[in-house]
Chains A and B, each alone.
Chain A
């Protein structure tokens, strides 16, 4: 059996949970087994996970699981994996997943591959999974040789696919021990898609000259329903918040479309973004290294080009 842990921050599933279930279902099909999904705490509409391939959803409704606690969550996942006889456990390679996957692997004496970027290859007894390494500069293939396998899935690596009907939700009644972690508050930016999940990212660098000029970047992002990002010096100079910093020492992303505005394309920047499906570079310097990593390029002054591009997208949308 394949067991997927579907994360539900503040009771809601995000895209990463649907991706994990879709992935789990495909792995289960390859192995000819069922895909069951575990949810923890108070969750809204757990049955919908059936649409992405869960044959059954197991929920431990104890409200102690509503907040982040890597230890208690990992213990619950490992216990359910054992009692249901799961041989493959799938989690999201999210901020919470990163706190949990390693713990689950140790509890189950299992090999872990974190941040998988594609489906595994399963043949005979061999189970191999690929992931990006060297911050996207290379791809590694890992063989998991233990009987139980844990895989955490990189965001945007697979597309959520609806393949079935809402599932039956079975409540399991075990309860969490009193943990040693207490969540005090959560601050989220409402209304924007977090960078790791974003399908379109509009990113800008030092070519913007100063934070007061970001209006044209935000207009473009708004037109595309995109999330904004920036290069490291931009975040370091406090032109933009730190959570927008992408690259080797920032967030690594793999959106469908990455639009780079006034960014030179230093190796450390490219490392975090070169897994994007399509890259558009706008830079006045035709020799900027970023053009080598780009699919489409526009050589010229960003202050003229970006508003023009926004207008073109608006026109395109109006005609759709």
Chain B
């Protein structure tokens, strides 16, 4: 069983978000970076569990610059067997997807995993694009994944419910809460992660059809209006007459 887990590096969830150069670039100064939580907690851990159970191999892949190698080593510490870094600084989901698809095309993976979205650009796009490039079935927001021979048994989150599906391998999935439990790398994992193979692959040329042109911060709230806990009629009145939402 060959499994590929595509991991992204994102600002830490507590990062203060600000922009440089007239709002065109994310201001990375002082920001801690982490592995995108969905990629780490659910996709990577489930891939490792499946590979441990069936005797497979897990490759972690990141499209990013050399500075991302700390996060890639963390994936190796959690349990990936080897890693690939496609040496580029992606600016869009489309670019990332193209790089991943070009690399994965000839590798014969049984399952390609993504997290359900990244917590920075919130696209939820890359998995679907890679699946299309490779002509593979794709299920997003999978909250459960088991294998039955060459069939993946999945649950996926839908609006107000859960859908149970079977998908023929090879396939592409994006992982959501429920698929696995977060794993803290142990000492042995951290030690071996240093010597596990990490290969660096050049990107293919690709013209992006979408470009971020400007980032802004949402308008600040005017300030909270406090209502006495003894006067809930007043709160209801405000919601009705002032906010006009009930």
Name A's B-contacting residues (CB within 8 A). Answer: 9, 14, 16, 68-71, 74, 93-96, 98-103, 105-107, 109-115, 128, 131-146, 179-189, 192-197, 200, 224, 242-243, 245, 248-250, 252, 256-257, 267-268, 271, 274-275, 277-281, 291-301, 304-305, 308-309, 311-313, 315-316
**Chain B, interface residues (CB within 8 Å), range:** 35 or more
Which of B127, B158, B177, B243 is the one whose CB lies under 8 Å from A96?
Answer: B158
In the assembled complex, which residues on chain A have CB atoms less than 8 Å from the CB atom of B76?
Answer: none
Of the candidates B126, B178, B245, which one forms a contact with A256 in the assembled complex, judged by CB atoms under 8 Å apart?
A: B245
What 1/0 flags go to B138-150 for Cβ under 8 Å of A? 1111010000000
Q: Which residues of B contact A102 (CB under 8 A)?
A: 93, 97, 124-129, 131-132
Which residues on B are within 8 Å of A, measured CB to CB?
11, 13-14, 17, 19, 37-38, 93-94, 97, 117, 119-129, 131-133, 135-141, 143, 156-168, 171, 174, 177-178, 208-218, 221-222, 224-230, 232-233, 235-236, 238-240, 243, 245-246
CB distance from A68 to the nearest CB of B (A): 6
Q: How many pairs of A and B residues are in contact by the CB < 8 Å rule?
A: 280
- Quote the shortest CB–CB distance from B6 to chain A (angstroms): 13
Main secondary structure of the interface of A (DSSP, over half): mixed
A95 touches B141 (CB 8 A): yes
On chain B, the residues within 8 Å of A300 by CB distance are: 229
CB neighbours of A293 from chain B (8 A): 221
A residues in contact with B119, CB < 8 Å = 134-135, 248-249, 271
Residue contact A188 to B160, C-beta cutoff 8 Å:
yes
> Contact: B245 with A278, CB < 8 Å?
yes
Collect the chain A residues with CB atoms within 8 Å of residue B214's CB. 140-141
Q: Contact between A268 and B141 (Cβ–Cβ < 8 Å)?
A: no
Is the pair A114, B13 in contact by a Cβ cutoff of 8 Å?
Answer: no
Most chain-A CB neighbours within 10 Å: which of B174, B208, B212? B212
Beta-carbon contact of A187 and B141 below 8 Å: no
